[in-house]
Amino acid sequence: MATAVLGMQWGDEGKGKITHLLAKDAAMVVRFNGGPNAGHTVIDRGVKFGTHQIPAGVFYSGVKSVLATGMVIDIFVLREEYDGIVEHLGRKPELIIAENAHLIMPYHRILEDLEGSGSAIGTTRRGIGPAYRDRAARIGIRAIDLLDGSRLRERLHSRLDALKRAWPQSEEIASLSASALADDLRSAAEPFLASIGDAPAAIDAALTNGEEVLFEGAQGALLDVDYGTYPYVTSSSTVYAGLPHAVGLGGLRVEHRLGVTKAYTTRVGEGPFPTELTGEEGEWLRSAGAEFGVTTGRPRRCGWLDLVALRHATRLNAPTGLAVTKLDVLSGLEEIKICRAYRLHDREITTFPASLEDLALCEPVYESVSGWDDDITGVAAYGDLPAAARAYLDLMAEGIGAPISIVSVGPSPEETIITGFDRG
């Protein structure tokens, strides 16, 4: 049986908490895209923990953590994460690292700064774009290259030669040496060198054996490289539509596809955001929801829920259920707005424009619903939520086109209402 946890917005929907919650029943958790640009905040045994590349299943013993081919992996960051987890858990995580996955090299981060591409888009500056670009340009270094020191040195040598010719003025690039980098990489990867292997075969075997496999997406549908708000997107496919390719299984069938959305909207970085609240209301949401990035600490832009964008995400993620997070943040508001259409050039539209210029001109058409006063963090059953909160959730489910499976009413695992999520 397979389940996927997928972002329905611009990332930061709270996928980490949901994966962490579901992972305790899984045999394997697979992260399938992105790299250390993601940041999951997980509360494990009362300790707040940030994971960046290792999927949230790592906290349970016996759960295998797979870093799939669709990712770009920063070995130095992975080593830090690995050591932190060993210290927190007192045991080694069981990792499988896809041999075909590409690696983020120190020069990818340097390039992002040198080219200014990161600041134009407001990236996380973790080298994601340059690493995926090297993959497409067929000059990348893959996890499998770590297994053979002389091959690694040779590949790095030719890549660094080209970079030194292209960026003669960069002292940072000039200071990189292929043999030192190869040695550093292999020594950082030492605890998990033996985990590099055929990830698609391992996932396939788990599924064939009837094991519970959980696929964990990073970022969200609106950051997808093809279907998001291009060019203000990340460089990977972030959606269910890209999952089979990212894990190397053409026949993959994922029975449960959980689309995760906040009860409002946030985004970090640049790019159009039709329901953004720039004044006091935006400030209020940011502070009520503690909306600051896990990876970069940047304040997140905040706004009302956008059904037009969510329906676009529904086509890409095909959710069988929704996990609505941070509903508690909206408590205390007299009125809540929900965007059900856009106004563009005096016309009302209900589809998400591919043109960035059009999207930037879109004015949200709102429907207002009443809020609720009660603190809902302790609510354990759907029926015990205030009627106004239930009405808001109904409006979301109907507008997005999928039933509500999970409602998160606080950061810790206990503060979660599970409704109608049947895992077979």
Contacts to ligand IMP by CB under 6 A: 10-12, 37-39, 121-124, 126, 128-129, 218-219, 223, 232, 234-235, 268-269
Helix (H, G, I), strand (E, B) or coil at 4: strand
CB of 198 to ligand IMP, least distance (A): 27
Q: Toward ligand IMP, which CB reaches closer, 16 or 410?
A: 16
Minimal distance in Å, beta carbon 130 to ligand IMP?
Answer: 9
Tokens (6 digits) for 420: 């109608």
DSSP conformation letters of 109-134: HHHHHHH-HHHHHT---SSHHHHHHH
Q: Give how far the C-alpha of residue 359 lies from the chain's centroid of Cα atoms, to the nearest Å.
A: 23
Nearer to ligand IMP by Cβ, of 72 and 339: the residue is: 72
376 in Cβ contact with 328 (< 8 Å): yes
Q: Is the dihedral of CA 287, 290, 293, 297 positive or negative?
A: positive
CB of 224 to ligand IMP, least distance (A): 10
389: which 2 tokens? 């909160």
Of 50, 57, 53, 93, nearest in space to 71 by CA: 53
Give 294 or 395: the residue with its C-beta nearer to ligand IMP: 294
Q: State the DSSP H helix or E strand holding residue 393, giving kind and residue range, or none if neither.
A: helix 387-400
Cβ neighbours for 375, distance < 8 A, ≥ 6 positions apart: 328, 331
Least distance from ligand IMP to the Cβ atom of residue 235, Å: 6
CB of residue 160 to ligand IMP, shortest distance in Å: 22
Active site residues: 12, 40
Tell me whether residue 32 or residue 392 sits nearer to ligand IMP (CB atom).
Answer: 32
Tell me the residue number closest to ligand IMP, measured at CB. Answer: 269
Cβ atoms 323, 18 nearer than 8 A: yes
Nearer to ligand IMP, 38 or 43 (CB): 38
